[in-house]
Amino acid sequence: MAKAVEKPVIVWFRKDLRLDDNHALHEACALGKPVIPIYIREPESSGNGPLGAAQAWWLHHSLEALDRSLQKHHSKLVLLSGNALDVLHALIKSTGAETVLWNRRYDPPGIAIDTRIKHELERQAVQAQSFAGQLLHEPSKLKTGAGTPYRVYTPFWRALEGSGEPPHPLEAPKKIAFPRHWPQSESLASWKLLPAKPNWASAFDEVWTPGEDAALEKLADFVDDRLSGYKKDRDFPSVTATSMLSPHLALGEISPARIWDATRGLSKRVSPDDLVHFRKELAWREFCYHLLFHFPKLPYANWNDRFDGFEWHNNKAHFDAWTRGLTGYPIVDAGMRQLWRHGIMHNRVRMITGSFLIKDLMIDWRRGEKWFRDTLVDADPASNAANWQWVAGSGADASPFFRIFNPVLQGEKFDPDGAYVREFIPELAKLDTKYIHRPFDAPAAVLEKAGIILGDTYPKPIVDHAAARDRALKAYNAIKDAA
């Protein structure tokens, strides 16, 4: 008698493009049935909809990498596009699958879609099960003593620390059973995720290798070479002192549990200061998701609605100068050009460029958030929005508005020899270190020697910082005492 064909299990990959510590995949393999791994390119309204242009570049390479890993198991990634529920319906019909598994996402549109899909599939007697994995702790579970969400980071961190060690990560499956018949996959090239003409991402691979293998390697290098000294060095943009894991985390090529696990048992060679500081940064990511989960409007509405009355200027020429790294303030311009060239910006410089946009130029933080979303390879709905609101002063536990970064002093403090500026602004490369963060103060002879003509080869400042600061504080005072 012919053996009955086993009903396959669908594993729906989303922002978890990895085999390691993947709870949905692990469960599918444990069921011992053929597994159909899929990725759905959803329409814009969903959490997995078209990403910003830089992250789309990353997604292309990440999907290729995941497919390669699956092929080692004689499996593969099936690419489909459309409304996720319709895609799943059609796939269930054509394959006879009775189970769909996925790891949870926590962006509000994604949650809404998943809830509906789960309900619909269960109504049709298809088992739909979701798993944790994108975060260390479920954002719905950590609450204050009063049962409300946390609004302040420090007590959130204490609660996170006090809630026990995150679970140990799961190893990648040894065997992934494959179906006898594969459903038709779309071609990755047809999704046109890569820029063509011009190819503005041509320098991305100077610094990035997307994919799970590269992420795990980077984690190991960081723990071996850079975790020690992390707290002291992490603020200096010319030094590679941080983990550089954020784009891998953003698309789930590595899990936070895997990262946390790599920092266990190191107390003999890494100081508690470095270790705790690094874990606290991972906890900031958790906090951002906690905020997004409990305040779904975070990416577009002021957390503190007093800021609704703030008088933004939104000068187009200023915004364009900021995006192109032509403000006349070298540390700001270097950051914006790093973003354009490599799809990333150092955390300290994100704070400086953000402060400059919001406070010196008085441009709405939402325009900065949107620009970062389109140009960062690590763009993340929670971390981007929460950090922009933090810089603006409109967010939960935010930096106060009156804390206005002076771009010259910040540059001199965190890029003292100007190495970062010289790397990203070649036209300033020969400038004397004394003036590298304030070329506008340099004597004519110094500029001439460095081959700089201010207003021609490099711009004069588009605003005077001291005057801009006063203007911003005045605007802030106007809303400060509002109810």
Residues that bind ligand FAD (CB under 6 A): 234, 242-246, 249-250, 281-282, 284-285, 288, 347, 350-351, 354, 372, 376, 378-380, 383-384, 387-388, 391
Given 208, 371, 388, 390, the catalytic residue: 388
Residue 157 annotated to the active site: no
| Cα distance from N-terminal residue to C-terminal residue, the chain | 78
Residue 314 annotated to the active site: no
Q: How far is the CB of 225 from ligand FAD (least distance, A)?
A: 13
Distances (CA, A) of 194 to 188, 201, 337: 10, 8, 20
Which residues 6+ apart lie within 8 Å of 294 measured at CB? 139, 149
C-beta of 346 vs 438, nearer to ligand FAD: 346
Residues 126/97, Cβ–Cβ less than 8 Å: yes
Given 182, 191, 200, 284, the catalytic residue: 284
Question: At residue 222, what is the residue type?
Answer: F
Distance between CA atoms of residues 344 and 376, nearest Å: 5
Closest CA to 352 of 305, 415, 299: 415
Q: How far is the CB of 283 from ligand FAD (least distance, A)?
A: 8
Given 12, 365, 371, 390, the catalytic residue: 365
Q: How far is the CB of 358 from ligand FAD (least distance, A)?
A: 9
C-beta of 99 vs 399, nearer to ligand FAD: 399
Please give the helix or strand (H or E) that residue 336 lies within, else none: helix 330-342
Q: How far is the CB of 246 from ligand FAD (least distance, A)?
A: 3
C-beta of 52 vs 439, nearer to ligand FAD: 52
Residue 365 annotated to the active site: yes
Given 191, 200, 312, 340, the catalytic residue: 312
Given 83, 304, 315, 347, the catalytic residue: 347
Residue 102 annotated to the active site: no
**Beta-strand relationship, 35-41 and 9-13:** parallel
Residue 284 annotated to the active site: yes
Q: How far is the CB of 212 from ligand FAD (least distance, A)?
A: 15
Q: How far is the CB of 474 from ligand FAD (least distance, A)?
A: 24
Distance between CA atoms of residues 288 and 412, nearest Å: 30
Residue 387 annotated to the active site: no
**Which residue, chain included where needed, has tokens 């784009």?**
247
C-beta of 126 vs 376, nearer to ligand FAD: 376
Question: At residue 465, what is the residue type?
Answer: H
C-beta of 12 vs 319, nearer to ligand FAD: 319
Residues 287/153, Cβ–Cβ less than 8 Å: yes
C-alpha Rg value of the chain to the nearest Å? 24
DSSP 17: -
C-beta of 379 vs 428, nearer to ligand FAD: 379
Catalytic residue numbers, as ranges: 281, 284, 312, 347, 365, 388
